Structure 1
Amino acid sequence: MFLDYVSTALVTLLVILDPVALAPIFISLTQGMTADERKRVAIRSSLIAFFILAFFGLGGEILLRLLGVGIPAFRISGGLLLFWIAFEMVFERRNERKQHTADIAITEDHIRNVAAFPLAIPLMAGPGAITAVILLAGRADGNVGYLAALITLIALGVLSCFVVYLTAGRVARWLGVTGNIVLSRLLGVILAGLAVQFIINGVTDIVTSTRP
């Protein structure tokens, strides 16, 4: 039973986190950064995502009940925020510093901001991942061993994302300036579709729950 829980949780987390799919997004969002700056973004975003998912795994269901906030609301808000990022990526709606990242140093605030949003939230610790850990924690039924296993698996899932992020820096250097620009526009369109899907899923959940 325990092994079945662990295997199910591991597969679920890896599928939802999808580390490989995050690699090109990481490249686009960290364009113009040095290898050291990319590493700092990877570490910070991974830590933020881990603590968020661990928190929701241990007490997320209770918190949501107390606040009266549902998962559909997370999906819609996450989709709206992600769509804004996609809009910036496609149309390059950035200030002068970001437009000339090759010549202007990346600030500490920019590193922190990118790590927290959108990498940690909502791309890693998004509505889907939060929902998954809450449901998996519910299956643990308060068993300390199961909950400890869940936290360990969350750590492994986030660690896999971190490893992919470190590799992504080499891919970015291989692509060069032109390749990164093309990739940024392409991923912006994909992210826009993902954002709209988040919103659709949230609205669908609300409509379904209100039907008699």
Structure 2
Amino acid sequence: MTNLLINGFVTLFVIIDPLGLVPVFLALTPGARAAHRRGIALRASLIAGVILSLFGLAGLSVLQALGITLGAFRVAGGIFLFWIAFELVFEKRGERKQKNAEEATAEEEEGHDIAAFPLAIPLMAGPGAITAVILLSGSLPTLAGQVGLILVIAAALGLSFAILTLGHAIDRFLGPTSRMVVSRLLGVVLAALAVQFVADGARELFTPAQSRAALSDTSPF
């Protein structure tokens, strides 16, 4: 279970991509004081935590109610996470985040809370992160596993909150080139994890059928 939790943490952290969120976060809070930025980052992390926890605890039940097997969801989710990894490696995701930031800046003038949109949704608790927690939840069906899932979500968002809080210092230290290199490396890691999800899902989907075929071949009838 420890290995699953570590893989889950790495997957969720890479998908949230707090280092990639730093320039977007700074663009959303121009001229804000450090305390104000910290409050926005805290609210966004808490909202994202609630959303991801709900999907992590109840998402699998919804899939079962719809007749979707965990193997099928692993394959679909792995393909989706691979696309996110592709965006990270080829710097496509940053463009989309910047577009969301610009839209949110325009809406903020009308009184919208940027902590909820776009920071919490969809930048932190987006479809990729939701898919990741449901996949992790399916691998941790026990009570201890579900508690571990919540701790993984809290750890990933807690680290994301810390990075956003220190956004100015991190942005000056890394610079655009270092951020790009780190994002691409994390994208490669996520791609490998996504392929593993697809492989596990395919094994779960096709192994039962192969077993039944083997039994029928050995059956005397």
Q: Same fold (TM over 0.5)?
A: yes
Which runs of at least 4 in structure 1 moved beyond 2 Å after TM superposition?
Answer: 61-68, 82-85, 87-90, 92-95, 169-172
Structure 1 position 7 matched with structure 2 position 6: yes
Report deviation, 1:89.
2.5
1:169-203 CA distances to partner (integer Å, 9 max, x unpaired)? 4567x7xxxxxxxx9xxxxxxxxxxxxxxxxxxxx
Match of 2:115 in 1: 115
Match of 1:127 in 2: 127
Structure 1 position 94 matched with structure 2 position 98: no
Task: Kindly tell me the number of residue pairs found equivalent between the two proteins.
Answer: 153
Structure label with greater radius of gyration: 2
Change (3 A) 1:83 1:147: same
Aligned residue runs from structure 1 range 172-211, under 5 A:
none
Q: What's the RMSD between the two structures over aligned residues?
A: 3.7
Tell me the TM-score normalized by structure 1: 0.60
Structure 1 position 35 matched with structure 2 position 34: yes
Unaligned runs of 5+ in 2: 68-72, 82-94, 177-221
Larger mean Cα displacement after TM superposition, 53-62 or 154-163: 53-62
SS in structure 2 at match of 1:10: helix
- Does the aligned pair in 2 maintain the 1:45–1:116 contact within 8 Å? yes
Distance 2:136 2:97 in 1: 31
Distance 2:119 2:98 in 1: 11
Distance 1:19 1:84 in 2: 12
- Does the aligned pair in 1 maintain the 2:100–2:118 contact within 8 Å? no
Match of 2:148 in 1: 149
Identity within the alignment, %: 39
- Does the aligned pair in 2 maintain the 1:35–1:169 contact within 8 Å? no
Structure 1 position 139 matched with structure 2 position 103: no
Distance 1:84 1:25 in 2: 7
Unaligned runs of 5+ in 1: 76-81, 99-106, 175-182, 184-212
1:144-184 CA distances to partner (integer Å, 9 max, x unpaired)? 11111111011000001100111114567x7xxxxxxxx9x
- Does the aligned pair in 1 maintain the 2:163–2:170 contact within 8 Å? no
SS in structure 1 at match of 2:166: helix
- Does the aligned pair in 1 maintain the 2:24–2:97 contact within 8 Å? no
Tell me the TM-score normalized by structure 2: 0.57
Amino acid at match of 2:106: R
